[in-house]
Structure 1
Amino acid sequence: MAAENIDDVVDGLAGIVREAGRARDRVGYFAALYRQVTVEVRAAIHGGLFDDGARMDRFDTHFGNRYFDAYDAWRRDRSGPRCWREAFGLLDDADTVIVQHLLLGVNAHINLDLAIAAARTSPGEAIHALRRDFLLINDILARVVLVVQDSVGALSPLLSLLDQVGARTDERILDFSVRQSREEAWHNAVLLAGQNEEEREAAIERLDIRAAVLARLTARPGGLVRPALQLVRSTESDDVPAVITHLDNAMERPSARQGTV
């Protein structure tokens, strides 16, 4: 699928969420989170919160198409970027906990796709004018991620065990930091925006390799985290459609509207 505007991105994600629910496919976990991010970004565009709403529509469309391309490549022949293959490759793994599925998707989309979408939207020197809006979209992303993370607690009663072994504190879960990755994404966007095609391809390859390494650390952590994850998984819901619905409604709950996470 290919989106032409942010409305297409929202519709495409909603379609993946619906189909995942019918098929009991865990791909719907991250798609539900991402749909809510996109809805929030669209509301911010319509509300005039960005310096350039039309530019942010293009930005979000490029960003969404990165996900759709990876999703389609995986469905077609198990190809696509390394970090997305790591994420999609665990969808049938019954031992992977809900929060891992979410973070694997967030890792690939932030550590690879976000910088690419920004550089494509504002190449060359134009990238610097994007900074304020880029930071604002990052704030929206972080807010939704935290709300959805918090809502996972209702589905994963022993999730607090990860805090006790130091794997889940604030924005940090396992070996993946949302905040740090958002900061690095801007640096990488500026880098990509100033490169020629050959340099850009090499840089994107390096970003993909790094994101794939982070994905493996998130998927298969060591130390005390591993047995803690096993306990967490033993109490989680196995009703995939219900989990998808719960995650897809996270931003509609009173706590989310009040900004409480």
Structure 2
Amino acid sequence: MSGTTGRVDAVIARMRRLDAALPARDGVAVFNRVYLAVTETVDRRIDAGEFRDPLAAVTLDVRFAERYLDAVGTAARGGRPPACWRPLFQFRRHPGVRPLQFALCGINAHIGHDLALAVVDVCRALGCEPVDVEDEFDRVGDLLVSLEERIREDLMPGPGLLRIADPLTHLLGSWSLERARDAGWAAARALWALRPLPDVARDFTERLDAVVGFAGRMLLTPLPD
């Protein structure tokens, strides 16, 4: 397992380089800091023996992170990343978008789209079924949900700015990481079941990408000061 563990270190190193290179207010940098903290925490818990199947947990962690890093690399080369990531790259420097919006947009793309595909990647790599990695999926998902509250606390504007009719309050109430995680698991199971129908699976993946991208675009609605 040492080679796969080394790949965890490699993706963490790539995220740390991004953190050092990007301006703090850049939308990708905001999400990257959140995701780096999550990945480091998952890595520590794997090392502490908190996952039933360490190989599955490490493989999921790596395949999941690589999809985000691939999107960053594609955008940096002037390419066209998946639709779910495009809003974050397009609006990353918009002065009317708050840091919390950037963080949630990235989480939405990663959980809503990338996680389902990463589960399929893991099952192909390890020759197993989604049910065999459900425990690892749930543990990673539980960690993300537990961190969501801290993310909101760290990036939320002062309480005086949050009124029931405030646009940011409305946006935050319209999206749930837990619901996105549940949808991601359902999408992973559907994609696995669609393996005998590659055309249908490809169409399903494209539609999933587009829907998650639409939600991300709404999360980045510019707000007045």
* TM-score, with length taken from structure 2: 0.87
- In 2, Cα distance between the equivalents of 1:136 and 1:66? 19
State how 1:88-107 maps to structure 2 within 5 Å: 88-107=89-108
The aligned amino acid for 1:18 is A
Q: What secondary structure is seen at the aligned counterpart in 2 of 1:173?
A: helix
- Corresponding residue for 1:230? 224
Per the alignment, do residues 126 and 20 of structure 1 end up closer, same or farther by CA in structure 2, a change over 3 Å counting? same
What per-residue deviation string (whole Å, max 9, x for no partner) do you get for residues 83-141 of structure 1? Answer: 20111110121111111111110110011001110111024861111112111100111
Change over 3 Å in CA distance of 1:174–1:77 after alignment to 2: farther
- Pairs within 5 Å for 1:58-207: 58-123=59-124, 126-153=129-156, 156-157=157-158, 160-161=161-162, 163-165=164-166, 168=169, 173-196=172-195, 197-207=198-208
Q: CA deviation at 1:173?
A: 1.1
CA distance, structure 2, for counterparts of residue 189 and residue 7 of structure 1: 26
Once the two structures are TM-superposed, the CA of residue 68 in structure 1 deviates from its matched residue by 0.8
Conserved 8 A contact 2:28-2:88:
no
- Say whether the 8 Å CA contact 1:45–1:57 is kept in structure 2: yes
Q: In 1, distance between residues paired with 2:71 and 2:130?
A: 24
Q: Is the contact between residue 20 and residue 28 of structure 1 (CA under 8 Å) also seen in structure 2?
A: yes
Judged with a 3 Å threshold, the aligned counterparts in structure 2 of structure 1 residues 109 and 159 are, in CA distance, closer, same or farther, namely: farther
CA contact (8 A) 1:125 1:193 kept: no
The Cα of 1:164 is off from its aligned counterpart by: 4.7
Equivalent in the alignment of 2:13 = 11
Query: SS state of the match for residue 77, structure 2?
Result: helix
**Residue 26 of structure 1: CA displacement?**
3.4
Report the Cα distance in structure 1 between the residues aligned to 2:89 and 2:109, rounded to whole angstroms.
10
Aligned Cα RMSD in Å? Answer: 2.3
Determine the C-alpha separation between the residues in 2 that align with 1:162 and 1:96.
Answer: 18
Question: Which consecutive residues of structure 1, in runs of 5 or more, have no partner in the other structure?
Answer: 221-225, 232-261
Judge conservation of contact 2:27–2:88 (CA < 8 Å) in 1: no
**Alpha carbons of structure 1 residues 117 and 96: separation in structure 2 relative to 1, 3 Å:** same
Shift of 1:27: 1.8
Do 1:174 and 1:218's aligned partners in 2 also have CA atoms closer than 8 Å? no
Instruction: Tell me, in whole angstroms, the C-alpha distance in 1 between the residues paired with 2:201 and 2:160.
Output: 39
- What is the distance in 2 between the residues matched to 1:80 and 1:5? 22
**Inter-partner Cα distance in structure 1 for 2:85 and 2:179:** 19
Give the TM-score of the pair, scaled to structure 1: 0.76
1:145 CA displacement: 2.4
The answer to whether the 8 A contact 2:85-2:106 is kept is: yes
Residue 54 of structure 1 deviates from its aligned partner by: 1.3
Identity %: 24
CA apart distance, 1:162 = 5.5
Q: Distance in 2 between matches of 1:16 and 1:45?
A: 24
Q: What amino acid sits opposite 1:33 in the alignment?
A: V
Q: Classify 1:163/1:33 alpha carbon distance in 2 versus 1 (closer, same or farther; 3 Å).
A: farther
Unaligned runs of 5+ in 2: none
Contact 2:31 2:106 (C-alpha < 8 Å) held by counterparts: yes
Task: For 2:101 and 2:68, locate their aligned partners in 1 and report how far apart those are by CA, in whole Å.
Answer: 18
The reply on whether 1:36 has 2:37 as its aligned counterpart is yes
